[in-house]
Amino acid sequence: MRWLLHLDMDQFIVAVEVLRRPDLAGKPVVVGGDGDPSRPRQVVASASYEARAFGVRSGMPLRTAARRCRDAVFLATDHAAYDAASATVMDTLRSFDVPVEVWGWDEAYFGGDVADPFRLAREVRAAVLAATDLSASIGIGENKLQAKIAAQYAKPGGIFQITFGSWPGLMSERPVSALWGVGPKTAKKLDALSLRTVGDLAACDPAVLLPVFGPRMTAWLPAAAAGHGDVSLSTEPWVARSKSRETTFPTDLTDPSLVASHVAELAAGLTSEVVLDGRLVTHVAVKVRFAPFFTYLRSMKLREGATADPSVVSAAALLVLEKFALDRPVRLLGVRVDLLLPGVGDGEGAVGATGGD
DNA sequence: TCTGGGGTCCTAGGACCC
DNA sequence: TCTGGGGTCCTAGGACCC
């Protein structure tokens, strides 16, 4: 029988920090930004269960977190540490004889044709704990959606199984937002159609969805609500489609020449990084967030085709920047470069598509 | 709750071509 | 010629996730 399992590390970022600071175990810990909650424009990346008990949530401003939980210990985010811990977790998972599909720092799908998924889950959980001292929860399902949701039921540190048989009993009364892929906007649109629970959505006539959602969503929503999901496992290493970097300034930028130099630097820096991975840049996008919070994105395909030249990309980024009227204080600047997929020609330089009939 | 950073995918409209 | 029926490319924006 084919089983999909989902490994989900428990409060991963905080857990990695506590490994380095064992004295913090069992305490309210909040990780985010530079770890200084007195500075504005920083948010919570991860909060320990003890901090969550005070209402601290990821995405919340650090200042708010500090107000809600006076005794919390605040720590700066340390991507390199999470990268390293994640690599150990995934290597451990890959040491089992099953396909593994990594989903970010702290999640992975695995499994396939396994006789005893609970046994596999127990062994994986024990191996991860032994290798990293980190706790994982594991969901078992007949597809990825079921496995992913099962992992939430398994938290913390447990194993939980969902099947088509148990799905309605577990999910029918839950809000549509419990489904992976249904966010606040979609939930609101569904609410306007009086579709509030997963059960409502599973039983609805797709014809009522079609005017509000596109054909894809219309097909997907009721299927997901009935517990259907992807059963494939791709072991292909993840290939980035794009790479971006953005900065929120502690105080707004008002000098357009500073804005321009910052954009040029971001673009050149990103290009240098992706070139190290043997990638070429095809498009460049510039993101500007004006005070108080108006965000715009403008982009351009590189006229000269895919390039590895940082100066070409930064010149293009400046061209894109000209699409903005920089007449207001700038709160955030970002640059994204889109990457040529390896093994794909970009058409530039290809001979004579002169065609015609 | 004055609201980060890094990603992916989908849709829609306009330009342009045959 | 006052008007069609595709198709593709490009950009903007929306939505979602961790």
Which tens digits make up the pLDDT trace of A65-113? Answer: 999 999 999 999 999 999 999 999 999 999 999 999 999 999 999 999 9
Residue A345 pLDDT > 80: no
A107 is annotated as an active-site residue: yes
Query: Which nucleotide is closest to the Cα of A186 by its C1'?
Result: C15
Averaged over A4-8, what is the pLDDT? 98
Q: How far is CA A198 from CA A97, A108, A169, A193, A225, in A?
A: 35, 25, 11, 13, 5
Which bases in strand C are touched by protein, i.e. have an atom under 7 Å from a CB? 9-18
Q: Percentage of chain A with pLDDT > 90?
A: 93
Residue A349 pLDDT > 80: no
Please tell me the predicted confidence (pLDDT) of residue A214: 86
Q: Percentage of chain A with pLDDT > 70?
A: 96
Active-site residue identified among A17, A107, A322, A348: A107
Q: How far is the CA of A186 from the C1' of B10 (A)?
A: 14
Query: Which nucleotide is closest to the Cα of A55 by its C1'?
Result: B1
CB < 7 A to strand B: residues 19-48, chain A? 33, 40-43, 45
Domain A242-339 has CATH 3.30.1490.100: yes
Which bases in strand B are touched by protein, i.e. have an atom under 7 Å from a CB? 1-12, 18
Q: How far is CA A295 from CA A68, A155, A178, A244, A246, in A?
A: 29, 36, 28, 16, 12
CB < 7 A to strand C: residues 299-318, chain A? 299-301
Indicate yes or no: strand C within 7 A of the C-beta of A185. Answer: yes
Q: How far is the CA of A1 from the C1' of C4 (A)?
A: 54
Query: Which nucleotide is closest to the Cα of A294 by its C1'?
Result: B3
Query: Which nucleotide is closest to the Cα of A42 by its C1'?
Result: B4
DSSP string, A105-166: TTEEEEEEE-S-HHHHHHHHHHHHHHHHS--EEEEEESSHHHHHHHHHHHTTT-EEE--TTT
Q: How far is the CA of A295 from the C1' of C13 (A)?
A: 11
pLDDT tens digit sequence for A111-134: 999 999 999 999 999 999 999 999
Please tell me the predicted confidence (pLDDT) of residue A344: 60
Q: How far is the CA of A258 from the C1' of B2 (A)?
A: 24
Q: Where are the beta strands (DSSP E) in chain A?
A: 2-9, 29-31, 46-47, 73-75, 100-102, 107-113, 136-141, 159-161, 242-253, 281-290, 294-301, 330-339
Specify the CATH architecture of the domain A168-225.
Orthogonal Bundle (1.10)
Indicate yes or no: strand B within 7 A of the C-beta of A334. Answer: yes
As annotated, the residues of chain A forming the CATH 1.10.150.20 domain(s) are 168-225
Q: For residues A343 and A300, which has the higher predicted lDDT (pLDDT)? A: A300
As annotated, the residues of chain A forming the CATH 3.30.1490.100 domain(s) are 242-339
SS3 of chain A: helix, strand, coil, percent, to 5: 40, 20, 40
Averaged over A238-245, what is the pLDDT? 95
Averaged over A222-248, what is the pLDDT? 95
Q: Which residue has the tokens 């999470």?
A: A82
pLDDT tens digit sequence for A250-282: 999 999 999 999 999 999 999 999 999 999 999
Q: Which range is least confidently modeled, A170-184, A295-309, A336-350?
A: A336-350
Residue A140 pLDDT > 80: yes
Q: How far is the CA of A353 from the C1' of C18 (A)?
A: 42
Q: How far is the CA of A214 from the C1' of B10 (A)?
A: 9
Residue A343 pLDDT grade (very low, low, confident, very high; cuts 50, 70, 90): confident
Q: How far is the CA of A175 from the C1' of B2 (A)?
A: 29
Query: Which nucleotide is closest to the Cα of A105 by its C1'?
Result: C18
Q: For residues A314 and A348, which has the higher predicted lDDT (pLDDT)? A: A314
Averaged over A141-163, what is the pLDDT? 97
Indicate yes or no: strand B within 7 A of the C-beta of A215. Answer: yes
Q: What is the dihedral of CA A92, A95, A96, A97, to 10 degrees?
A: 150
Indicate yes or no: strand B within 7 A of the C-beta of A68. Answer: no
Residue A342 pLDDT grade (very low, low, confident, very high; cuts 50, 70, 90): confident
pLDDT tens digit sequence for A41-67: 999 999 999 999 999 999 999 999 999
